[in-house]
Amino acid sequence: MEMLDSGKVDLIAYEVPITAEYKEKVVACGPENITTQVLVQPKLGEEELITDVTDLVGKDVYVEADSKYEARMNNLNQELGGGIRIHPVSRDTMITEDLIAMVSEGKIPLTVVDSDIALINKTYYNDLDINMPLSFEQRSGWAVAPDKKWLGDSIDAWLNTDVNRGEQARLLKRYFELSKNESGTKFVSTAGRVSPFDHLFKRYANKYNWDWKLLASQAYVESKFDSTAVSWAGARGLMQIMPRTAKGYGQTAKSVMKNDVAVETSLKLLNDLDKQLAKRVPDEQERKKFVIASYNSGLAHVLDAIALADKYGLDPQKWDDNVAKAILWKSNPRYYKDPVVKFGYSRGRETFDYVNRVYSYYAKSKVHG
């Protein structure tokens, strides 16, 4: 706001509240966003869902400490005459999105977040209900200085062209509606067999000195063994390879839909990641977890997590309870703005869970030898 007022910037492309207070200082323009604070709860039967604020009396609600959510719950509790058990959470590694995950996992019963945060996270956790509003609507938009109203009008006109309306609708669907965790074939390991593609996993894993059952487990987490899968982000095929990654290995978005190409391309990537991490993580078996994490998030974010682990007294050469903990920090501003972090924010919990899921299925695959 100060930079806009002093003329250092022309536009704030950020959600500025549209209120009487700000109306005197800025002219709203651009895409308008309307949010409310909502209750995040497990998707239960209709008779069990909380649908009225009075039903919160006697319930336990966990919120990020010193946040607007804690303030809103305290005000609501006073309005109702008390009885809501409010639990502020203030762990270093914990952010609001982690509380959403904990509701999904059954670790806590309820939390409160903004509706847009709830919407985007619901695409990761399909078992949640986010339909219960707890506050008034808040409008927000971009902003220009009062003497630059013409610029705001130009931005509005540009955004309202058919092309840009279509693009906004596409982005809304991609990020806020499409599920990021599609259900699929159940993982079943029988004597000597993990998947319909074992012959490919064995053939190429042997060529690249990789455990074929670990590769099969990763393929299951990636695509549920659906060789036709195309993710919300554009990843394709059995090993969910992004088009830009395919191009880097001389392939196309179309060619990695072929199972043999997908498997070998993924192994080339895993092999390259292994080489790049060898000096930092000398233990070959331990390094595999770092490699698999890098396959999910990109090597840069794993290198950031290694740097954070080293700085804050964790073992930078061990994944579990060490660099795995640091990758979670990559969602927290306190850590992703740390000077040792070179590549900013990442959805650390997604990578954390990804490695755990791959190794969980890997353990199952080894039961039958």
Domain map (residue ranges) of the chain: 37-135, 198-365
pLDDT-derived band at 233, boundaries 50, 70, 90: confident
pLDDT for res 304:
98
Decide: helix, strand or coil at residue 8. coil
* Average pLDDT of the residues in 126-154: 94
Q: From CA 141, how far away is CA 1, in angstroms rounded? A: 13
DSSP symbol at 346 = -
Strand pairing report for 37-42 and 111-114:
antiparallel
3-state class (DSSP) for residue 273: helix
| Fold that domain 37-135 belongs to in CATH | D-Maltodextrin-Binding Protein; domain 2 (3.40.190)
Alpha helices in 208-258 (DSSP H): 212-223, 243-248
In this prediction, what percent of the chain has a pLDDT beyond 70? Answer: 96
Q: What is the pTM of this model?
A: 0.78
Question: Which run of H or of E encompasses 33?
Answer: strand 27-35
Query: What does the pLDDT look like over 155-191, one tens digit per residue?
Result: 999 999 988 888 888 888 888 887 777 556 667 767 6
Band of residue 193 on the pLDDT scale cut at 50, 70, 90:
confident
- CATH of range 198-365; options 3.40.50.2000, 3.40.50.720, 1.10.530.10, 1.10.3720.10: 1.10.530.10
CA dist., res. 52 & res. 75, Å (int)? 16
- Could you tell me which residues come within 8 angstroms of residue 356 by beta carbon, excluding any fewer than 6 positions away? none
Average pLDDT over residues 206-217: 95
Residue from 342, 290, 337 nearest 316 by CA: 290
| H/E segment holding residue 164 | helix 162-176
pLDDT at residue 88 tops 70: yes
Answer whether 37-135 and 198-365 agree in fold.
no
Question: Which value, in Å, is the radius of gyration of the alpha carbons in the chain?
Answer: 24
Contacts of 351 (CB under 8 A, 6+ apart): 293, 296, 297, 301, 302, 327
